[in-house]
Amino acid sequence: MWRRMEQAIAAACVAVLGGGASAEMFEQVTVEVRDGAADVVAGSAKLLADRLREMCDAEIRVVTEPSDRAAEGLTIVLGVAGEGPAVDTLLAEWRCRVPDERDPGPEGFVLRMHGDAEPATLLAAAVDGRGALYAVGEILRRVTYHDRAVSLPDDLDVRSAPAFEVRGTQFDQGHTMLQLTGAREWTFEEQQRVILDYALAGANTFEVSVGLKADDPLYRFMKSFGLKTLVHYGPNIGDGPPEWQAKEGIGRKNYLCPSVPEARQALLERCENHFKDSPDFDYVRFFSGDGGGCECDRCKPYGGTYIRLCEELSAIIHRYHPNTEIFCTNEKTDNAGDEAIWAYLREKPRPWLRAFCVGCGSDAMTWQPGRRQDHRMDLFRYPGFGPYSRYPQEILHNLPPEQDLVCYNEVTHWWYSELGYVRFPPAPDANGDVPPHWGKWIYERQPDYFLAQVFHRRTFYAWPRYYHRVFNDLLRFGIGDVTHSSGHHDHFNQWMWQRLLWAPHTCVEDVVDEYSRAWFGPEAAPYMAQAVFQLEQNLGGSDPMALPTNEGVDRCYDLVRRAGEALPRRWMQNNWLWRQFMQKAALDKHVQLDARRQLALEERVVRRIAEALAKGDTEEAIKETLSWLEPQPESEEMVRLRAEADRLGEESDALFGVRNVGYFSLDHDFIGLGWYRKTLEEAQTAAPDQRSVLLGLVADYTNPGEGGFYDNAGDPNGAPHMVYGTPYDHGQQLWEGALSESNRPSQRLMAFTSHEDQGVTFAYNGLDPEAQYRVRFTLVRPRFEPFCADLMAQTRQSIYADEHLLAKDLELPEHEAEFFEFDIPPETTKDGTLTLRLEKQAGLTDKPWVDVAIWRNNGGWGTLVSEVWLVKKP
């Protein structure tokens, strides 16, 4: 059924995307630009011609004199209004209002087509130099390619300018992505192409390295198109003796404490050395954390220390580059730090600061990885447009009128990021606060459980509907955004962001349609538009276990495949982006088939052992099921999909230096089949009574027996008896080496407490006063990444039943979960109630708060538990 519906939609979309007016085909195109035009205008004319030549065999020329126009075909007259007779003459003849900074606005342009002229003429009149570049972008999005010709709608009439002053991003392949995928590095020409791709979408600013020199070819290239540059600068980055070192938020090295006079002087000298011989950067963005900052007592509140340091550094920069504009952020500051910043800025005019920047790690109203220490709970009284909007509004209220708000958003990580999926519910902040109910939807967006094991937080993805909402919540108070990107895997997200910075009221369907037509052509666009939306749905949502039954995986694969069949040869031959979509679709389908296979095997093992327990033939059942659990070859379809993903990745790498990281991480034990193998092997040699217990766990794992209770402590909805403790979020992104995949999914989830005196606690009522009970715990502690492993002294905890000690300083197994069982003292349940509580090891947090905070930020735990069974003994 959906295929028939899809065909109808596709036909309708082709009609819409093709334009409502008839379009003549032109085998000759002349791009006319004034002789001696500014570099950006002349470069834009050449760029237009080059891009047209790439996609068809029409005759394309660039001329500088009207007399050189072709007698037929299409002439595109490109220039800045008021700077050339050809543009001005057509504006007057066609009675078109001269574009200026008021109408349509700075960086804007006018396009008007006169198909009945001799020859047919398209006027592209820009307000300024960059406007000519953006006019070219609009032409390229509107053009339709044929084998030897191009066409444009006869009624093309556009008057447009950007809605936001600052529109930018990073551009690179991402160091981590290159390491993970082994993709080749971009050539200089490919770097230029990426810059121009985003510029043609509307970007005017690109982040560059602070070490860039004035004669750098890429810098000169950007300036030749009138593009702006931004440096992301760490005010307290530096080297020095141990006594100079900062107490950085998660313990990173190579940051200095600005409150140490010698360290501060070193930071000032570093700034001078960087900028005295640097080119003129349009913007310098100082960042206060992630990494960076200092949480020592001398710097408190760090916001105040930071903003004063920024002013000193700005004076150095302005000594050499008086026109450079300064942005400051409040990443990873706390409430007191924010107040110190606002108070300082309001003391007197601070002309050195152009705008304040809210972005990665800034938000005082969302609980996200990296752990801001406290939150603005007073702002939750009324939701307004929600947390993403309310806090920027508050910042703007606190800024003096001479400073604007600009954004620094992160649209590059699909999980473990400020705007990404949340893998674990939020832990309380340092004050014990958690988000209220009306912000809960943020934390209910979870990555698909299976996909999250395969795909790194940097992977190819698209989030049209979600990011469209985020954009409109966040940008309503700012003057623009220069987004953070850590690779080219976020291509759609970055492109959409630039288009929305140009025209924020564009509906998400129109943005996706435009993207699909621009990158895949009108024939393939309807399929690709649906695939983009489907990819977003497949990545996760409210049901993280949906992948095995998600029909959208097949649908996305089929849509992208059909788009490929619709792509003309010229579009397909160099289309690395289609290959990226197809590779992601193939990998998702492979993961789905593997998940289904593993779940089917689990069901088969569980059913066979349950039957064996009922019939008494357990020895034979153990042998049989262990043979099933031996490694099995992939199905033919899985082999085909793996090979297809490999081929597509090789092609996209050869074409543009991009590959999908998931291909290199396909093989996983998603559901803990290793636990079944280990448990059955133990049962094979166990005494009869113990064998029955082990096989009972295999057959009906969560069943506590009659009168018993089970809690999956890491699942907020699966732990009805847990009265204190929150799901363990590991502090940092979940390192793949943290826990064994032989752990069952419920064993990989945990409840924890960190620095609090009270440990994870369970309370039971309605117990049988005459019965005896036994408790079983599943315990495991994660391994930590090397950079923070030396901070983690915790290995043990104590366990109490009411006030009766069950285990003193019990060491938790590392990496692989184990069961621990204890008899409950009968006197504790005589009143029909019981409290089970954990207690952290002595002295664990007896240290300065700054050290505790760093430990906590990295996943430091005081008590930790995965599962609890309270079993009524026979």
Whether residue 339 is found in the same domain as residue 199: yes
Whether residue 868 is found in the same domain as residue 804: yes
Place of tokens 């649906």: 530
Output the pLDDT for position 22. 53
Whether residue 148 is found in the same domain as residue 184: no
Answer yes or no: pTM beyond 0.85: yes
> Which structure tokens are listed for 641?
């999909």
Whether residue 728 is found in the same domain as residue 743: yes
> Which residues are paired to 77 by β-bridges?
32, 123
Distances (CA, A) of 714 to 537, 711, 748: 25, 9, 8
Task: Name, in order, each residue with C-beta under 8 angstroms of 551's C-beta and a sequence gap of 6 or more.
Answer: none
Check pLDDT > 50 for residue 13: no
Whether 377 is in a domain gets the answer yes
Q: How far apart are CA 383 and CA 398, in angstroms?
A: 19
Q: How far apart are CA 872 and CA 874, in angstroms?
A: 7
Check pLDDT > 50 for residue 414: yes
Whether 489 is in a domain gets the answer yes
Output the pLDDT for position 10. 43
Task: Name, in order, each residue with C-beta under 8 angstroms of 714's C-beta and a sequence gap of 6 or more.
Answer: 424, 727, 728, 746, 748, 749, 750, 751, 866
- Nearest alpha-carbon partner for 779 in 762, 795, 756: 795
CATH code of the domain covering residue 868: 2.60.120.260
Whether 305 is in a domain gets the answer yes
Whether residue 129 is found in the same domain as residue 255: no
CATH code of the domain covering residue 151: 3.30.379.10
Q: How far apart are CA 463 and CA 447, in angstroms?
A: 12
Whether residue 244 is found in the same domain as residue 378: yes
Place of tokens 């760093």: 854
In which order are the strands placed within the sheet that holds 109-114? Answer: 59-63, 28-33, 74-80, 120-126, 109-114, 157-160
Full domain range(s) for residue 818:
702-872
Q: What is the pLDDT of residues 474-517, one digit of tens each?
A: 999 999 999 999 999 999 999 999 999 999 999 999 999 999 99
Whether 649 is in a domain gets the answer no
Distances (CA, A) of 627 to 144, 602, 623, 630: 59, 13, 6, 5
CATH code of the domain covering residue 334: 3.20.20
Whether 355 is in a domain gets the answer yes
Neighbour tally for 207: CB within 10 Å: 21
Whether residue 229 is found in the same domain as residue 173: yes
SS3 for 687-721, per residue? CHHHHHHHHHHHHCCCCCCCCCEEEECCCCCCCCC
Check pLDDT > 80 for residue 92: yes
Output the pLDDT for position 41. 97
Please, what is the angle between helix 39-55 and helix 217-224, to 10°? 100
Whether residue 139 is found in the same domain as residue 252: no
Pairing of strands 283-286, 325-329: parallel
Among the three residues 489, 505, 521, which one is the final residue of a domain in this structure?
505
Among the three residues 160, 177, 203, which one is the final residue of a domain in this structure?
160
Check pLDDT > 70 for residue 14: no
- Nearest alpha-carbon partner for 519 in 563, 471, 468: 563
- Per-residue confidence at 372, pLDDT binned at 50, 70, 90? confident
Output the pLDDT for position 370. 67
Pairing of strands 726-727, 751-753: antiparallel
Q: How far apart are CA 645 and CA 662, in angstroms?
A: 10
Q: What is the pLDDT of residues 270-308, one digit of tens each?
A: 999 999 999 999 999 999 998 899 999 999 999 999 999
Whether residue 420 is found in the same domain as residue 282: yes
Q: How far apart are CA 790 and CA 786, in angstroms?
A: 8
Angle ∠(564,567,569) on CA atoms, nearest 5: 115
Check pLDDT > 60 for residue 613: yes
Task: Name, in order, each residue with C-beta under 8 angstroms of 697's C-beta and a sequence gap of 6 or more.
Answer: 679
Check pLDDT > 50 for residue 3: no
- Nearest alpha-carbon partner for 438 in 334, 538, 542, 366: 366
Average pLDDT over residues 308-330: 98
Whether residue 755 is found in the same domain as residue 847: yes
Count of domains forming the chain: 3
Direct distance between the N- and C-terminal alpha carbons of the chain, in angstroms, rounded to an integer: 56
Whether 225 is in a domain gets the answer yes
Q: What is the pLDDT of residues 619-654, one digit of tens each?
A: 999 999 999 999 999 999 999 999 999 999 999 999
Q: What is the pLDDT of residues 658-698, one digit of tens each?
A: 999 999 999 999 999 999 999 999 999 999 999 999 999 99
Whether residue 759 is found in the same domain as residue 850: yes
Among the three residues 160, 178, 204, which one is the final residue of a domain in this structure?
160
Whether 675 is in a domain gets the answer no
Whether residue 148 is found in the same domain as residue 215: no
- Nearest alpha-carbon partner for 690 in 819, 604, 823: 819
Check pLDDT > 80 for residue 521: yes
Q: How far apart are CA 475 and CA 766, in angstroms?
A: 53
Check pLDDT > 90 for residue 563: yes
What percentage of the chain exceeds 90 in pLDDT?
88
What average pLDDT does the chain have? 94
Place of tokens 């024939």: 523
